[in-house]
Structure 1
Amino acid sequence: MSDSVLTLEDVTLRLDGNAGPVEILHGIDLTVRQGEAVGLVGPSGSGKSSLLMIMGGLERATSGKVIALGRDLTALDEDALALFRRDNMGVVFQSFHLIPTMTALENVATPLELAGHRDAFDRAAVELDAVGLKHRAEHYPSQLSGGEQQRVALARALAPRPAILLADEPTGNLDAATGASIVELLFGMARDRGSTLVMVTHAPELADRCDRVVPLADGRIAEADARRAAE
């Protein structure tokens, strides 16, 4: 795992709040290598989700560089970022973010269609089958349980075979048993598809499954892990 997939260099994030500018991230240096599963952990407000969004180009860093697969995301405009994410990244959110007016099959097929795959629906059906939801393909999100919705979201994120999979508290809205099944799918499918996984989590059992854990506190990588994060 010597190849760098994601590199952050002195990344900062400052957002405007009601009381003035708020410093969210301070000088983050981090390298994620191909095939790794990295867990971002820390208390609420430590900057975990903000860091993940910056990695995916969903939030702009105030300063510093974000290099993904050799591309400087900080130098790309919004259109170029969207194309880069489409072709290289999958994102799984805590709250699923499925399109309510589309069936499970249509939700999974959408990113494949946007990428120009003529067999989008065939591939989407294969991915739904992989997460055990072949029989729910024509159901809408409102007709699915929370665990089923997250399985659809996972299938959608991984259907394009992204090099990088970002997950923000993927089991946060699920009960323990359902969350455990999602964890097995998440790690298994990412491994089978060769995706590098970066995940925000509060759950110790998820962090323990990762190859490396990067703890954050007050918008900084915790000193004890700084060397491991930069190795």
Structure 2
Amino acid sequence: MHQRPINGLPLVSLEAISLNLASLAGEVNVLDAIDLQVAAGETLGVVGPSGSGKSTLLMIMAGLERPSSGKVVVEGQDFGPMDEDALARFRRDTIGIVFQSFHLIPTMTALENVAVPLELAGHADPFGAAAEELGRVGLAHRTTHYPGQLSGGEQQRVALARAFAPRPKLLLADEPTGNLDGVTGRAVMDLLFDLNARFGTALVLVTHDDTLAARCSRVVRVEDGKIKP
């Protein structure tokens, strides 16, 4: 079934996306002819059972996984002809990613972690902007702390600040509260939706939590590599 955004031109367009991987038991069809569009500024929840292909779909949107067939277009850029360097530059400028595992650099402070993508993008004041972003997520008092000195919720907020600092057009969040307790997880999600509302960044959220998904403007369900009606 073709899923269309609720309004606007698509920021993300996936056309007939399939992914087949080899295994000892034979070829596995991870994704099967998926069509999906995401509008600029939209919040999209992606739900479904474990192993259904949700996270793989997110990785294909990010250009971190190549589909076996089909077309991926993000902000007018067709991923097909782009090499890995071009995709990396495009991600740097356009896409933010928040994982369940925080993926912070352990030898860098919170401030340095957030400043990294800004430095790579040639920002005029990466550390000033990083400090401002940490303040936005309530961590102005933690800028000099290393990841090992932060709680799980604080680490995830640093990861969120890092993803949002370059002002991406698209934010992809893969079970971002999976390693957090309920109260901390809700606080992190409040931040995600607040930043979406404030800056108009499109948010695609993979989650097992139907209540959380219901906060999105639209929800799609993935089962057996297909989007279910």
Interval of TM-score (by shorter of Structure 1 and Structure 2): over 0.9
SS in structure 2 opposite 1:101?
coil
List runs of 5+ in structure 2 lacking aligned partners.
1-6
2:134 counterpart of 1:132: no
Q: Match of 2:184?
A: 178
What is the CA–CA distance in structure 2 between the aligned matches of 1:135 and 1:171, rounded to whole Å? 22
Amino acid at match of 1:34: A
Deviations 1:79-102 (A, max 9, x none): 000000000000000001001110
Give how far 1:74 is off.
2.0
* TM-score where L is the length of structure 1: 0.95
Q: Match of 1:26?
A: 32
Deviations 1:60-93 (A, max 9, x none): 1110000100010122110000000000000000
List runs of 5+ in structure 1 lacking aligned partners.
225-231
SS in structure 2 opposite 1:75?
coil
Give how far 1:21 is off.
2.1
Q: Match of 2:14?
A: 8
SS in structure 2 opposite 1:20?
coil
Question: Which of 206-215 and 185-194 deviates more?
Answer: 185-194
User: By percentage of residues, which structure has more helix?
Assistant: 1
Given that 1:9 and 1:28 are in contact with CA atoms closer than 8 Å, whether structure 2 keeps it comes out as: yes
Give how far 1:19 is off.
2.6
Q: Match of 2:3?
A: none
What is the CA–CA distance in structure 2 between the aligned matches of 1:37 and 1:50, rounded to whole Å? 18
Give how far 1:32 is off.
0.6
Give how far 1:194 is off.
1.5
Give how far 1:16 is off.
2.0
State the aligned residue count.
Answer: 223
What is the CA–CA distance in structure 2 between the aligned matches of 1:141 and 1:86, rounded to whole Å? 22
- Residue 158 of structure 2: which of 152, 155, 163 is its match? 152
Q: Match of 2:125?
A: 119
Q: Match of 1:221?
A: 227
What is the CA–CA distance in structure 1 between the aligned matches of 2:110 and 2:135, rounded to whole Å? 11
Q: Match of 1:69?
A: 75
Given that 1:166 and 1:199 are in contact with CA atoms closer than 8 Å, whether structure 2 keeps it comes out as: yes
2:203 counterpart of 1:197: yes
Q: Match of 1:105?
A: 111
What is the CA–CA distance in structure 1 between the aligned matches of 2:99 and 2:118, rounded to whole Å? 19
Q: Match of 2:41?
A: 35
Q: Match of 1:141?
A: 147
SS in structure 1 opposite 2:52?
coil
Runs of 4+, deviation exceeding 4 Å:
none
Q: Match of 2:60?
A: 54
What is the CA–CA distance in structure 2 between the aligned matches of 1:201 and 1:100, rounded to whole Å? 26
Identity of aligned residues (%): 63
Give how far 1:206 is off.
1.4
What is the CA–CA distance in structure 2 between the aligned matches of 1:175 and 1:207, rounded to whole Å? 17
Question: Which of 155-164 and 68-77 deviates more?
Answer: 68-77
What is the CA–CA distance in structure 2 between the aligned matches of 1:75 and 1:57, rounded to whole Å? 12
Give how far 1:45 is off.
0.8
What is the CA–CA distance in structure 2 between the aligned matches of 1:39 and 1:179, rounded to whole Å? 16
Given that 1:108 and 1:153 are in contact with CA atoms closer than 8 Å, whether structure 2 keeps it comes out as: yes
Deviations 1:85-120 (A, max 9, x none): 000000000001001110000000000000001200
What is the CA–CA distance in structure 1 between the aligned matches of 2:22 and 2:152, rounded to whole Å? 34
What is the CA–CA distance in structure 2 between the aligned matches of 1:193 and 1:127, rounded to whole Å? 13
What is the CA–CA distance in structure 2 between the aligned matches of 1:17 and 1:74, rounded to whole Å? 25
Q: CA RMSD in A?
A: 0.8
SS in structure 1 opposite 2:22?
strand
Question: Which of 202-211 and 128-137 deviates more?
Answer: 202-211
